[in-house]
Structure 1
Amino acid sequence: MIEVYSWPTPNGHKVHIMLEECRLPYRVIPVDIGAGEQFESRFLGISPNNKIPAIIDPDGPDGRPMALFESGAILLYLAGKAGQFLPADTRGRYEVLQWLMFQMGGVGPMLGQAHHFRIYAPEKIEYAIDRYTNEAKRLYGVIDRQLAHGKYIAGSTYTIADIAIFPWLRSWKNQGVELSDYPHLKGWFDEIAARPAVKLGVEVLADRRRPLVDDKARETLFGSTQYQRR
């Protein structure tokens, strides 16, 4: 049974959804990032970048346990293990991988910054809010144009590219985006949201979700605690 060290965030839900889609048995170990559990030595041994999610697969590819961090790497690993959601042919594989990299390098970081400056920053910085809100809208536009040409992100088949991008778009209101402005994306979004495995995946640890309203949680996530040498 795969051990999943996670929390109810977009990156956590990517892995939860993938495990549900692949019907792989797993056990969730909560890592409360607001309480600083991501800095504990046991978790750092699995995820040296102190970020969730991370996994341990006791049945690794060579019969030994396999530990992995970084959600994109985990999606690729699970796709290989299950033989699902990543094309076997070279062209199809790279068409999916480019959109996975788009999510990892663009959608996640930029929408994360939009969340931060719009919702969590202790002071409202108009330049930062405008910059990242506009970048969020630009990225939504890229996805909308792509979906005008195919049912899914990387073409006609549901893949890890869809699984990677979807959770980040669930908070579109917090990103300053109106989903109806992107009709192709909205149709795709609604279809993905209705998938049984997706419904199950986004509920994993959802009862642990809470607003980051206390100063300790904000300092843990955004203050000097992040930058201490370990």
Structure 2
Amino acid sequence: MSVRVLVVDDQDLFRAGFGMILDAQPDLAVVGEAADGLEAIDKAVALAPDVVVMDVRMPRLDGVAATRRICAETSAKVLVLTMFDLDEYVYDALRAGASGFLLKDARREELAEAVRVVAAGEALLAPTVTRRLIADLADRGRPRPELARRLGELTERERDTLRQLARGCSNAEIATAMTVSEHTVKTHVSAVLSKLGLRDRVQAVVFAYEAGLVVPGGLA
């Protein structure tokens, strides 16, 4: 069954180009397009896509606000595209619920694979974006006490798993570090996301830093 994709961009050429690239993949199907954030919300509700490929800077309603609404009102995952790796909206878009962030100059195969990764429930960040995210988190200073208290909802193994997630480790790497099977890691990850009400790994990384479980440059 094909992954249903909604492409959102205010520039016709980008929108058409992304649509053609994705629609050419045998496992992906572009079900609609939108030229701004308000149209994106309407289309996401009406068409029920699995993934929304979202531009950030658009008229009427920007991609961050649209992402927040789409993530709150639908089950769609959002992959945000931007021209700039130091886009000031990176942190806000991830906080809004975006599952991935990719630069618009990515190769066509990277775009298609990014959609697949996000659709599968994983998170995806370009390396430069990851560095910016960690820098932003560091700049925000002290942990948020209300989030730190919620760490008590996790078992020690689940907290260890969250620490590893915040370091950007894959399931295989976490399994090796914790001397458990990948299946067990998947169970821990699911428990962490469920107990903390998080959508995916990106949100888990943000939570871990904001709660003070880990600190930029090392582990707490």
TM-score (norm 2): 0.25
Q: Which has the higher strand share?
A: 2
Higher relative contact order (CA 8 A, sep 6+): 1
| Normalised TM-score (structure 1) | 0.24
